[in-house]
Structure 1
């Protein structure tokens, strides 16, 4: 049997993979989707082909005759996307690490290398398989040369195979005639212009009959249809050039030894290390080499008796740094707070070789957790992941010396919002762990990772200037959020039910009115049915047709609502339905036995540093419509308590004034004037006392829009004015506050130079979009660069205030408790006799959380419900 060689068109397959797979990046921000897709295609086809030899051909960026010819005709080729270009050298590095032969040569494209190698290998009696996404290579197909064209669809690879007979069957022309066919029909993906007006079917018909463009040209008057006859004469020079562009060189001079392409074991230790770095976890199972994780695993020990468990705990008590993981059995997929009986045991690590698991079978959980709490006392550094979720097992003194690796990793890369200890193991220790492990083994890895990653994470935080942010804001915040979750907020279940019933009545009424105006019953929640009713049956103007029907998105309907009452009712119907499903019905599911909602507050999700709320999301309670605000009436304090609500006044604008140093804006705040009225007065050239309500509203929109890098288009949409008017507003705003313009421009420049934006407290927000080849992505990146220092600083200030308020309530042994944080607002459930002291604490801690060029101010109210207090 003949030996076989597989030849791969490197850039072509990389390109296919890049556009066929969603974007992937590793922890270092390197785009990897093209590399990952290439490897999957290559490994799949190697498994099928089982060749003795393999070579991957790449284009060299030096000009070839095809480049030059095409540039003479049509300028330059479309540049490669930056996200793909950065993957090319890494792809070559991966192939070399696998011992795979790469060939590239100046003056020759990969097509020419593949064409020459395929003919050379065929002439030596070998079977040849060429893998490429470029159909130009079909001209190389013979009875011994097979062309395989992969397609990536939704992450899956499909392959078309072509020998010479297959080309003839598919295109009705021979492989060599395929060159002439491409010369006529062209190929925009390969920069072959072709003859205008001649498509694939016409080209195939002409070449099938005349076999070459030269013969077809000689019989131009006989060609059908007439437009083809006219086109080949008019564009003959283009046809000749296209044939030269399409023809692949098969006799180039190459320095190539076939034995250098012989395949050995491609799953090498060097490749294993690279695959780990690239985070190709799914491909590691192909390797037989032992990675770093196996060396760690050799040190895992499980306590075999109670005596051994006690010895381990005694040794752990002497350690300076202790990595801890409290684990539950996999079958019990419930939160730790669901009950101690669910806990499976504890893993401890206090040295590179001291990694232990104490399962519940060797020591009763209640006793084990009691010992763990005592273990957490003292001067040692306690390193854990997701500290807030396991804090109930530690002594309060742990606050001074704990280290949460998840929070540290989040600060270093806030764009990733789903951190697990496996991510920290990979990023900080080069350990790529299996997805499925036994509970004890997984716990040992977690404890080891907590122990071993603490020092490198601290080093990186110090290097990035975020160690103080971590120690003085983020870690203390863990304890504040823990207290808030434990406190919860009381909800009147009966009132909530009544609220839902009232909504149901209004929803039903609106439903009947909408059906009556439409003339028939239909599913109002179905965009397709709604589109047909509005734009076909009722004939409303302004409908936007999409592939799936008419768009009934909110922005479309909001433009129609003023002219069509039925549309206004549909929008109201949607709002009420959302209120009922999300809040009236949704909140009820989260009320605990104690009558309170104990939601989660997350500090490692948003890229800007803001706290988010889940299970349920209490930060998204509606405030714009009165019916939405009424939901706050069901949130009430316990008997003998009252709510005190404190809300920062325009904190982001005040931060902007400080960061920009704009004298006008700073002076306005120092004079304690109405900032929006001052802005309106200056932007619209109107005396302060003559500013209209409309002018003030417009100025307010500009003030807050500027903070978010609003464009003239965005402002025009917000204010329902022309884009030109909006541009004039913004221009005049920057003329009024020149310091702001300078600050925003500088923020974008610095983010481009450094790769990240930074807050006053040192928090970094990477902005990779600024280097994107996509205009929309770059524009988004510019807005992020402008806003992140402002929003992130405001978030930091709020965190400082929360920590201060909570600490003073607890240190003063007060009954009052912090229960909610919503953006710029804090809600305290205050014991009635402590209410005045609570107000004092809120005012002092919130207004003194940061020292800015302008004063921080709060609005504060009390009430017997959240609605009253707000």
Structure 2
């Protein structure tokens, strides 16, 4: 017997298809669509590495389907007949996938004439009989029939586990009845018919009542209704269907796996590091290659406490922190006395560039207080100053106030160049302690955002990607969930290793990324814009905007009353109380009780009551209209009127939103706590929210907004003569478009025609199809097609731009803004049709959205510079979409109305004039 061992069986065919469809269209040479596809290979490596971490295996096999027929094809020629051919881009990756799986230490099996499921079934049952625990990794429900006390299925993609209890709970029958269950339900994927109109619930019910498929077939005459008729009509087929869905567990594998039934030949093998490194280099996996090289054993870092020369941890093998730190030799100091402090301060004063990182007690930048601070002046060397650590074994620390007082001259001197990762956060933290940091030259997060917008920009990802280093994990130090401790309670030696490494890695990542920016003048200019924007956004966040909490409370009460009224009205229409958030109850009332038509069904076959369905039904029925209003007001109340007041900082009475620069791939800013971008201003209730953003007595709110910015950018980029003419002569562009499309003089365009033209203008920018236009305007599809055709006939430059842009994106893998921001489109050559189409729409729209983002950032920086020089009493307090919002003395309104639009219009010279419009009021809504 082979007790207490584990065999892992990977359903390789399931893995490779999931990897292929989950990953973008990666290539061995990035941006070269003619080079070898590698997305499925990389996805396969990722999935196997994740599985290896999750399950400790003694034996491991990755099983693939071989090409050619199996015994099931002989039984039923239509078996799997409807499956599409394997995409060529995936077929080309099969052999490399087999190769890399072997190099990773797995046995690979692909046996002609035998399906992967049957190989898995045979190996699983063989091992289980020997007392081995078997873990099958697959998303295929068919394998559930193999589950028993020793065989378990896991799906690493969604965390699902199918043991005996899990199978029973999911399907309503135990594993030993799954073959009967599958025979009744059929398998649409493999083209195996079941009993018509019999789904999982009916099949489970029948098997629960009759015990087995044989017993059910014997008593089929007792089953009433259409289901009974269908069952009886299928009796001759069911034995064949059962044979097709039954996984074989007795295949002869002796010619393919030596030594069976002993399992020694499928023991987990050693990773073939040298060959694996060559493989990674061949297929362009540079990060994996670096990580492989760095993963080799290296000396443990010395994290020195004053007076000590020992290692950071006594038991290196037991600590995840030590494991991460072992990746390279570094020297990290912990500063606990003034002599060491003075020595490091001298190094800071002499250094050409210093990376610094703060450790704090909060992620809220406006509230966070320093716990410690670290510096690095060259790779591999860093120091940590603990300032507010606590606990029984905590060494004596230097006083926080005095340390910051001594650091302040260096921090506030712009001549001393500084570097950070997400510097805006650290600026706020130090500002909370009265220090206005100057001299920030670089931000590695923003460097990554400009160079590789489609990838993660957190430091751990950057370090692994560009230096091959894996960093210490915050949760290893502090725990997670309810058991997470504050950073101040982390032992000083561990905190020093963590914080020093952050500064050290930031410096090393900068050394990898900065040369790439220096080598590309346009990208460097975008990076410099992002750095300048970070400075302005810090000022804006610091200013915040005053909130009228009493008005919000009043609005919240009124919304609550209206929500209750809507519930009562909904109950009256339905003739009964019900849960307005329950799709099941809504379906019963809509379709069973009130007889509304079924608009569409969910993926599981249930009748949908999603928002799209409600909007359609609301055209003819009052209840869906009530529910839509109820949902809208509930969201408004929960997201804004209930929460905005609580988000205000007590010491200022203002909300200080966080502007995230490195999120949107187009360069647009996003905001949170609160999210200013998503206030629903198309409804009266939504617009009232803006009334709560107010100015103090004697001051007012002003809004400066770019007019039709994306259409102007379209005119500039496309060079279409008609669009250029409309903007250059100050025409109403929607009215001009309507005149062109409908063939009428401009002065005879009706309001309805202008509305249509506006939808067309903005819709085509976002890649709207004729179907989308028809739906938006309530037209039939042919009429929408005609409008689009006429539009392109009148604006041929726009159509030419769209076609050329798609072609260029397919060739390069990215598009650019007017100013050079690069917008990467990983799916532009995807074999997946819907993903490719979405990428093509993005290719058309992204240059406009991205250029608009560049323009508003240029405007923000330019306006702030003028305010600093001429009108410091005017505060810029918000940036939302294409709008800048100010708080200013009433006496400065004339200056702002005149000078801010002039400054915003002058930040770029396009082929059409930029136009900014200003509104002023006591609150944000009045300023519109």
1:263-278 matches, cutoff 5 A:
263=267, 266=270, 277=288
Q: 2:350 aligns with which of 318, 328, 338?
A: 318
SS state of the match for residue 317, structure 1?
A: helix
What residue number does 2:372 align with? Answer: 345
Decide which moves more: 836-845 or 815-824: 836-845
What residue number does 2:453 align with? Answer: 414
1:398-797 matches, cutoff 5 A:
401-416=440-455, 419-435=457-473, 436-437=476-477, 438-462=494-518, 467-541=523-597, 551-592=608-649, 593-797=651-855
Decide which moves more: 454-463 or 81-90: 81-90
CA contact (8 A) 2:72 2:79 kept: no
Gaps of 5+ in 2: 31-37, 165-173, 215-230, 298-316, 388-395, 478-493
CA contact (8 A) 2:336 2:397 kept: yes
Decide which moves more: 84-93 or 502-511: 84-93
CA contact (8 A) 2:701 2:920 kept: yes
CA contact (8 A) 1:648 1:858 kept: yes
Aligned counterparts of 2:547 and 2:232: Cα–Cα separation in 1: 80
What residue number does 2:881 align with? Answer: 823
TM-superposed deviation, 1:673 = 0.9
Q: 2:419 aligns with which of 379, 383, 392?
A: 383
SS state of the match for residue 610, structure 1?
A: coil
TM-superposed deviation, 1:690 = 1.5
C-alpha change, 1:752 and 1:304, in structure 2 (3 Å) is: same
CA contact (8 A) 1:712 1:730 kept: yes
CA contact (8 A) 2:702 2:918 kept: yes
Per the normalisation by structure 1, the TM-score is 0.79
SS state of the match for residue 691, structure 2?
A: helix
CA contact (8 A) 1:466 1:762 kept: yes
TM-superposed deviation, 1:757 = 2.4
**CA-to-partner distance for each residue in 1:19-58, whole Å, 9 max, x for gaps?**
59994789999565544444566787763xx45xx66565
1:130-209 matches, cutoff 5 A:
150=153, 152=155, 154-158=158-162
What residue number does 1:850 align with? Answer: 908
CA contact (8 A) 2:144 2:153 kept: no
For the pair 1:863 / 2:921, whether they are aligned, the reply is yes
Aligned counterparts of 1:623 and 1:185: Cα–Cα separation in 2: 53
C-alpha change, 1:193 and 1:559, in structure 2 (3 Å) is: closer
TM-superposed deviation, 1:864 = 2.1
TM-superposed deviation, 1:444 = 0.8
SS state of the match for residue 620, structure 1?
A: coil
Aligned counterparts of 1:755 and 1:248: Cα–Cα separation in 2: 49
**CA-to-partner distance for each residue in 1:693-716, whole Å, 9 max, x for gaps?**
111101100000001000111111
CA contact (8 A) 2:81 2:191 kept: no
SS state of the match for residue 827, structure 2?
A: helix
Aligned counterparts of 2:854 and 2:190: Cα–Cα separation in 1: 52
TM-superposed deviation, 1:670 = 1.1
C-alpha change, 1:187 and 1:374, in structure 2 (3 Å) is: same
What residue number does 1:78 align with? Answer: 84
Aligned counterparts of 2:863 and 2:584: Cα–Cα separation in 1: 51
**CA-to-partner distance for each residue in 1:588-640, whole Å, 9 max, x for gaps?**
11222322221111111112110111101122223212332222222222223
Decide which moves more: 533-542 or 790-799: 533-542
For the pair 1:365 / 2:418, whether they are aligned, the reply is no
Gaps of 5+ in 1: 141-145, 161-168, 173-177, 207-224
Aligned counterparts of 1:520 and 1:72: Cα–Cα separation in 2: 50
CA contact (8 A) 2:463 2:505 kept: yes
What residue number does 1:215 align with? Answer: none
SS state of the match for residue 358, structure 1?
A: strand
TM-superposed deviation, 1:649 = 0.9
C-alpha change, 1:44 and 1:429, in structure 2 (3 Å) is: closer
C-alpha change, 1:357 and 1:83, in structure 2 (3 Å) is: farther
Structure with higher Rg: it is 1
What is the alpha-carbon root mean square deviation over aligned residues?
5.3
TM-superposed deviation, 1:680 = 0.9
SS state of the match for residue 346, structure 1?
A: strand
Aligned counterparts of 1:397 and 1:44: Cα–Cα separation in 2: 46
C-alpha change, 1:94 and 1:291, in structure 2 (3 Å) is: farther
**CA-to-partner distance for each residue in 1:137-195, whole Å, 9 max, x for gaps?**
9999xxxxx996845273245479xxxxxxxx9999xxxxx9xx9xx999979979899
TM-superposed deviation, 1:402 = 1.7
TM-superposed deviation, 1:725 = 1.2
Aligned counterparts of 2:145 and 2:639: Cα–Cα separation in 1: 60
TM-superposed deviation, 1:499 = 2.7
TM-superposed deviation, 1:692 = 1.0
Decide which moves more: 20-29 or 715-724: 20-29
C-alpha change, 1:379 and 1:226, in structure 2 (3 Å) is: closer
